[in-house]
Amino acid sequence: MSIILMVGGNFTAAQDDWNFTLTPYAWMAGLEGDIGVGGVVAPVDESFSDILDNLELALMVGAEARNGAWGLFADGMYLDLEDSEQTAIGKVTVGVQQWLVTAGGLYRMAEDDTLILDVGAGIRYLDTKLDLNSPAGGAGSSDNWIDPLLLSRLRYRVSDKVFLTFAADLGGFGVASDLVWQLTANVGYNLTDSTALLLGYRYLDIDYEED
């Protein structure tokens, strides 16, 4: 699970009838859950400050292309981090390298001067490598999978400068993950006609177990 503070700039360019948006951002993320490799299960509870201390590399960017009511989007993240926890068998060190890529299509259901509503469908690709080291020995594993998902997004205009965005997606459905869902809420401020700054909260929950 991830709790995320997002700061990003939206850079938009228009070409013919297409509008393109690029969003570099930073996730100030926390990580909580149980991770297991080779029969050894370790609890992980990392605050953002913990992750920042143990972070090796982080890459994060989103993009969107839109033509009329239809749109395409992609969002990618790479994290490389490490955590240590004291368990019943002693100190367990967990290393995690993860790719998280979401992509799909959008359809604009409604739009006026105040409100924009999009719905869509897509996939979420996860590629995770885990390493566990404990007094009982070490183990490593890697896995990747693709989950289908359904999503909706809402943008509400508060003023000429200020806007709110909300997004939710639900997926997995037993195809790979048993269930994966995400909620996002942001407050945005238009710096220019083509650039905005967003500050928000993001929660991602993944229930996946390898057979």
Taking the chain (211 residues) in runs of 10, the rounded mean pLDDT of each run is 42 70 75 57 58 64 92 92 74 83 98 97 93 76 93 97 96 94 92 85 85 63
Q: Please, what are the domains in the chain?
A: 2-207 (2.40.128)
Closest CA to 77 of 177, 163, 12, 8: 8
In the numeric block, the tokens 């997995």 are attached to 172
Distance CA 160, CA 103 (A): 30
Q: How far is CA 70 from the centre of its chain?
A: 22
Task: Enumerate residues 6+ apart whose C-beta is below 8 A from 121.
Answer: 104, 105, 148, 149, 150, 151
pTM assigned to the model = 0.77
The answer to whether the beta carbons of residues 172 and 179 sit under 8 Å apart is: yes
**pLDDT given at position 170:** 98
Residue 11 CB coordination number (10 Å): 15
Element (H, E) at 130: strand 115-134
The answer to whether the beta carbons of residues 99 and 134 sit under 8 Å apart is: no
Distance CA 167, CA 116 (A): 12
Closest CA to 127 of 192, 176, 90: 176
Closest CA to 102 of 61, 57, 68: 61
**DSSP alpha helices (H): ranges in 27-83?**
48-54
**pLDDT given at position 14:** 60
Distance CA 159, CA 130 (A): 46
Q: How far is CA 207 from the centre of its chain?
A: 15
